[in-house]
Amino acid sequence: MIDLVRPGAAFALLLASASPALAQNDASAPVEVVVDTAKPGSKIDRNIFGQFAEHLGTGIYGGVWVGKDSSIPNVRGIRKDVVAALRAIRVPNVRWPGGCFADEYHWRHGIGAAKDRRISINSNWGGATEPNTFGTDEFMDFVDQVGSEAYISVNIGSGTVAEAAEWLEYMTADPATTAGKERAANGHAAPYKVKYLGIGNESWSCGGAMTADHYADVMKPFARFVRNYNPAQAADSPGAMQRIAVGPGDDNLSYTESVMKAWKAHDWAWSIEGLSLHRYTTGGGWPVTQPSTGFDEGRYALMLKETLGMDETIAKNAAIMDKYDPEKKVGIAVDEWGAWLAPNPGSNPGFLQQQNSMRDAILAALNLNIFARHADRVRLTNIAQMINVLQAMILTDKEKMVLTPTYHIYKMYLPFQDATYVPVRFDAGAYTQGDIKLPRVDAVAVRDTAGKLWLAVTNLDPNRPAKIVARFPGVQARAARGEVLTAPRVDSVNSFEAPNAVVPRPFTGKAGKDGVTLELPGKSVAVVQIDL
Ligand code: AHR
């Protein structure tokens, strides 16, 4: 049995230890999950449930913004149905405006009277027309309606320090200043809050193809001069803005080394609080070929195997960070992750539109579990992307909207927001598909902010149910109830025609003197509250 006592020690260890003896294939044998309620771990920052909204395809235009005159119900141009759905999953932060788009975004094009806004070309994403009708004030209105924090990525690729500094001044300065007066004239006298500041995006590639050392030098003046003037966000206060530097993409560790080395040598004049990490699951690299519908079990297993590598990617980066920052002052921000699949047939390939299946829901749950185990270092993540792009929460088509299986995982995991990690031990067993061997089950436990105990269990095996026996040494479990998400097939999806094909159902466990028994269907994720 593997001891998952410490967040961050977890899944790689578990996989490495899946010896033939443990890798039993007896589907009827119960999986024992021992929950150690006496040893609480790190706090799971609710910001690991963040979203990413780039000016890309119909992620913003159509997905969020329909305009004030639209027949689609809206508040000041922002879709009501989408806001209601996002409020229901308590989105903690939204990263905007990119992505690659951010390093070509000039904020002044997106403020003031709509008729005067510059119309440009979105050269990164399909050469679409960018009307700039959704700009800073509209984004801030959107996050306010959703109840989220703003994560603003500033342009360091084709912009200047002065441009980024003036943008922050526009958003956060006192109404008596010139910048504040301009904001007030555009409808918002009070300073906005900017909780997170991204200093560039993928500067090793679309953000300017900089070497790691060069980026570290470019980043410092932004960290120094791009100031937040909102008095509610004074430096060193609990609400202070967190600056996030560009870090690694996949397993290229050079940015982690250079940026953390630079950070260790920083003086009073600048600092960062976060290091970005991007890792997509493609099922075989680039260009992407994995379809989002109509795939077989082999492709299902391939994607899950690759996604589980997130654990090792975080562990490798965390080890480098530990060298320079043993006190863990700088957090990892996995601010782009998720399944990146082949575009829907017939769609503009530059719009990155894909369907979202039961497989993607399991993929999301496995990653959220990994982030929870690394909660000592991972403080924020943004799944890519929120609406209509890549592994989306929500799909829209004009007035229609559908919630994806991934959305339902985010809803089921709500008790994990700001919860405390609780260590679990279990034999993961094995699910084998061709030459791919995966753990058969995964499990994490937390205490929510009200002190209630929750257990999330995933059965990766699509064909066989898993009987879980959860034990709580020293305490008697009285009941277990929650929800389970499963579907007829791994590639089952929700569509506009059949929006409820993959939705959570009520789920209960049987409490006995030895703990709680949960009968998980194949290909499922269950989240249950344990009454002790
Ligand atoms: O999410 C789509 C793109 O993926 C982002 O714009 C970029 O940062 C990454 O390469």
Q: Kindly state whether residues 384 and 514 are assigned to the same domain.
A: no
**What does the pLDDT look like over 50-62, one tens digit per residue?**
999 999 999 999 9
**What single-letter amino acid sits at 159?**
G
Query: Which of 419, 443, 461 represents a domain boundary (last residue)?
Result: 419
CATH assignment of the domain containing 469: 2.60.40.1180
Atom 4 in ligand 1: which residue has the minimum CA distance? 99
Ligand 1 nearest-atom number relative to CA 54 = 6
Rounded CA-CA distance 312/314 in Å is: 5
Model confidence at 221, pLDDT cuts 50, 70, 90, reads very high
Judge whether 202 counts as a catalytic residue: yes
- For residue 448, give both structure tokens: 């929510």
Instruction: Give bridge partners of residue 148 from the DSSP assignment.
Output: none
Ramachandran assignment for 202, one of left (phi > 0), alpha (psi -120 to 50 degrees), beta (any other): left
φ, ψ (nearest 5 deg) of residue 225? -100, -15
- Do 359 and 396 lie in a common domain? yes
Neighbouring CB atoms inside 10 A of 465's CB total 15
The residue nearest atom 7 of ligand 1, judged by CA position, is 99
Report the CATH number that the domain containing residue 208 is assigned in CATH: 3.20.20.80
138 is known as an active-site residue: no
Ligand 1 closest atom vs CA 102:
6
- The pLDDT-based confidence of 370 (bands split at 50, 70, 90) is very high
Kindly tell me if the per-residue pLDDT of 12 is higher than 70. Answer: no
Q: What is the pLDDT of residue 352?
A: 98
Beta strands in 84-237 (DSSP E): 93-96, 120-122, 128-130, 149-154, 196-199
Number of structural domains, the chain? Answer: 2
Closest C-alpha to ligand 1, atom 5: 99
| Dist CA 4 CA 25 (whole Å) | 22
Non-local CB neighbours of 417 within 8 Å, separated by 6+ positions? 44, 46, 49, 90, 92, 449
- C-alpha of residue 204 to centroid of ligand 1, in Å: 12
Tokens of 523: 């290909």
Q: Which residues line ligand 1 (CB under 6 A)?
A: 54, 98-100, 201-202, 336, 384-385, 390
- pLDDT by residue (tens digit) across 332-363? 999 999 999 999 999 999 999 999 999 999 99
Residue ending a domain, among 419, 435, 463, is 419
Measure 122 CA to ligand 1 centroid, in angstroms: 13
Does the pTM surpass 0.85? The reply is yes
Residues 153 and 280 placed together within one structural domain of the fold? yes
Atom of ligand 1 nearest to the CA of 100: 6
Question: Residue 26 has what pLDDT?
Answer: 61
Ligand 1 center to 167 CA (angstroms): 22
Residues 442 and 387 in one domain: no
Residue in 54, 169, 306, 336 annotated catalytic: 336
Given 149, 202, 257, 306, the catalytic residue: 202
The rounded Å distance from CA 528 to ligand 1 centre is 34
Q: Do 515 and 490 contact (CB within 8 A), yes or no?
A: no
Domain residues for the domain of 521 are: 2-42+421-531
